[in-house]
Structure 1
């Protein structure tokens, strides 16, 4: 498939982030009807076949060669396809989608920090300042969401689980950089298949909660199709035209979309949450604009 125009790439990035934002908003509405384990399993069960077809016709992969990387693909599936959504959906049972999005907005800065520590990537003063600013913003959001103060901290369980989810996603992202030779949609399809195969016996033992009313069915179909399939397709189409760093900046739109949806749905947003969110976004922008000097090669 040929690269799209830059204008189309921007629209693809906006669409992808809107779909991922929808995962938070719809997920918050449905987790009381479908438990996190069932929702994670059903989500990827719906998505796996479309992902395989998209990978086959768009990327034309060598499936046998891709499956030879099964150990790393399995670890990535456990982290990004199973542990991350499980932590996210469980968090949404205890906190709002708005609060969850404000906390998760620190993820790009956290990924940058871990890349510096683990992959020895360079970071300039803007990057370090952005990470510090984002962490301050997350603390403010957590305290505002729990109604605590610095002298009497009572962290909301949902906010704590969001910290777990972004830590898992950071590990998934860093390890994903070691996956070479497997196209992105193909890798996503294989991981989705592994997740379904792994979670099915677990869900069979614990019981699977299936939606019985129309709103829950539509919510499940939305999560299984748009955030799981559509967002990945749009994201990868855009990255054929724009740089990955440019695409990463667009991830900040998720928080904008989720807060806007929360306001429309009547979710109360306090001034401290707004302040914390602005600090997080400001820190992420600082980190994204960081341009450290390249190291001098050894003689």
Structure 2
């Protein structure tokens, strides 16, 4: 890959993680006027329309699948897409945006550990190191530095919901590797948006306190902008930018950029006037260090091995 292509990929991934990180404080702001379930319905509806238009523009036909394959794709989407958004936005109503982004930063690590568990393999030492360091950073923030809260398992309910949503997304990410072998990613994502829209609409129908139509008619222009940002940029735009970056840099290198999500979330939260504490910033630094250090050590070892091989030849 030439330097300009590599630079372009880096810029695309940084823009992608900015969109994803900004969704946390933007969503937190929107929740001041609409219920979490109403917000998720907006997100899925906007994303589904945009993806449908994009698929038509690219002349992407829906794949011909067996009934079992359709059931599997829809089931995995309900767990991952529906579970993530249900946990994320109901959790954001009860916790800080920076906390939510910090918990979601554990997703790549959780995906790796889920893979090890389902494949009945022990995780590598680097993954274990990352788990210990990252969890210490997250727990430092979630317990507000109070050890007695950790011993008593006293966590904010919103943090718990986001953590469950993160686990749903990590499981979805792992299972998607199998689905992608027989279903293109754009149609699969469209199925995910429609599946999520269906299950959240069903949950809303049984929730007496949620009135999506009335809430939508009463929202301000500012919050309407929030909803459009989350649906267009935070969902469709972020996904397309991510796919493009992964194609150019590879999944392993692209996954490193996920570490910028809590950073951009904290910066956007600050711009929105939301509180960002020094403890949250410390937690972000610890999590990023836990994710990056094993990779840095691995790169240094590979570089040393190459130099050793060159010197012997």
TM (norm. structure 2) is 0.83
The reply on whether 1:229 has 2:236 as its aligned counterpart is yes
State the structure with more CA Rg. Answer: 2
Residue in 2 that maps onto 1:296: none
The runs of 5 or more residues in structure 1 that have no matched partner are: 292-299
CA shift at 1:276, angstroms?
2.5
Which whole-Å CA distance do the structure 2 matches of 1:16 and 1:121 have between them? 32
Residue in 2 that maps onto 1:170: 170
Q: Is the 8 A contact 1:145 1:156 kept in 2?
A: no
Which whole-Å CA distance do the structure 2 matches of 1:254 and 1:76 have between them? 24
- CA separation of 1:149/1:225 partners in 2, compared to 1, >3 Å: closer, same or farther? same
Question: Which SS does the other structure have where 2:274 is aligned?
Answer: coil
Q: Which runs of structure 2 are paired with 1:126-165 in the superposition (5 Å)?
A: 126-144=126-144, 149-150=149-150, 154-165=154-165
- CA separation of 1:158/1:246 partners in 2, compared to 1, >3 Å: closer, same or farther? same
Residue in 1 that maps onto 2:33: 33
Which whole-Å CA distance do the structure 2 matches of 1:34 and 1:145 have between them? 32
Query: Superposition RMSD on alpha carbons, in Å?
Result: 2.7
Q: Which runs of structure 2 are paired with 1:276-287 in the superposition (5 Å)?
A: 276-287=283-294
Question: Which SS does the other structure have where 2:143 is aligned?
Answer: helix
Q: Is the 8 A contact 1:66 1:181 kept in 2?
A: no
Residue in 1 that maps onto 2:308: none
Residue in 1 that maps onto 2:19: 19
Q: Which runs of structure 2 are paired with 1:219-258 in the superposition (5 Å)?
A: 219-258=226-265
Q: Which runs of structure 2 are paired with 1:3-82 in the superposition (5 Å)?
A: 5-58=5-58, 60-65=60-65, 69-82=69-82
Q: Which runs of structure 2 are paired with 1:115-134 in the superposition (5 Å)?
A: 115-120=115-120, 123-134=123-134
CA shift at 1:92, angstroms?
0.8
Q: Is the 8 A contact 2:102 2:138 kept in 1?
A: yes
Which whole-Å CA distance do the structure 2 matches of 1:221 and 1:131 have between them? 35
The reply on whether 1:98 has 2:104 as its aligned counterpart is no
- CA separation of 1:27/1:114 partners in 2, compared to 1, >3 Å: closer, same or farther? same
Residue in 1 that maps onto 2:185: 184
CA shift at 1:61, angstroms?
4.3
- CA separation of 1:178/1:261 partners in 2, compared to 1, >3 Å: closer, same or farther? same
Higher helix share: 2
- CA separation of 1:32/1:171 partners in 2, compared to 1, >3 Å: closer, same or farther? same
Which whole-Å CA distance do the structure 2 matches of 1:253 and 1:7 have between them? 17
Which whole-Å CA distance do the structure 2 matches of 1:104 and 1:201 have between them? 25
Residue in 1 that maps onto 2:301: none
User: What's the CA shift string for 1:212-254, capped at 9, x where partnerless?
Assistant: 3211211111111111111111111222211011111101111
Q: Is the 8 A contact 2:42 2:231 kept in 1?
A: yes
Which whole-Å CA distance do the structure 1 matches of 2:145 and 2:122 have between them? 34
CA shift at 1:29, angstroms?
0.5
The reply on whether 1:275 has 2:282 as its aligned counterpart is yes
- CA separation of 1:288/1:51 partners in 2, compared to 1, >3 Å: closer, same or farther? farther
Between 56-65 and 97-106, the greater mean CA deviation after superposition? 56-65
The runs of 5 or more residues in structure 2 that have no matched partner are: 299-313
